[in-house]
Homo-oligomer: A and B are copies of this chain.
Amino acid sequence: MPKIVNHEERKALIAKSTWNVIARDGLEGASVRSIAKEANLSLGAVRHYFNTQEELLEFAMGLVEEQVTERIMEHTKQPQPPKQLVLNMLMEFIPIGNRTIEMQVWLEYISYKLRKKELREDSVHQGMLSMMTQLNENGLLRKDINMEEETIHLHALVDGLALHILMGLVKLDENRIRLLIERELDRIFT
């Protein structure tokens, strides 16, 4: 008999307001009050959905990983040559347009989990490993390469590129970045 409010949607809305606050004022500026203001909600309203600030921040930051993963998986629904598929998936890491805020929050997330010492696993890296394994099992990769090394190499390159683009060091347009990564894929694909 309550006022009908979709719980999950509302939580996501608050989370995305949290992203904006974090991107603007950092984690130290992400007070419950400032987040409520950004979301156009009262302090009590926000607290109704999240019992503590920590719970809110972890939900908001965790949602980034979830959203990125989901977006990457979308590509598998569209039939395309394996190399193009991989390339399209990897391009999802590159912060362009809206995704800039996403990566800013992700950076804060890394720092946050690092000092909480809760950073031993990473679903994205796991996904990268299983993707490479699958490519290998399908005979799409060269036989003379060290799988572990190449996975590390590829992931490092993509994340490093993403970081430098975010920092504004690299001014290449989307297409040249694509070529840069494709060249790396050519090194390991048959």
A residues contacting B by CB (< 8 A) are 23-28, 104, 107-108, 110-112, 114-115, 119-120, 122, 125, 149, 152-153, 155-161, 163-164, 166-170, 172, 180
For this chain, the copies found in one complex come to 2
Measured in the bound complex, the distance between the Cα atoms of B157 and A161 in whole Å is 8
**Is B167's CB under 8 angstroms from A119's CB?**
yes
Tell me whether A152 and B125 are in contact in the complex, defined as CB-CB below 8 angstroms, given that A110-B107, A115-B25, A167-B119 are known contacts.
Answer: no
Chain B nearest CB from A151 CB (Å) reads 10
- Please tell me which one of the listed residues B104, B156, B169 contacts residue A115 in the complex, with CB atoms under 8 A apart: B104
Q: Which residues of B contact A160 (CB under 8 A)?
A: 155-161, 163
**Is A153's CB under 8 angstroms from B169's CB?**
no
Nearest neighbor of A112 in chain B, beta-carbon distance: B26
Q: Which residues of B contact A167 (CB under 8 A)?
A: 110, 114, 119, 122
**Is B164's CB under 8 angstroms from A125's CB?**
yes
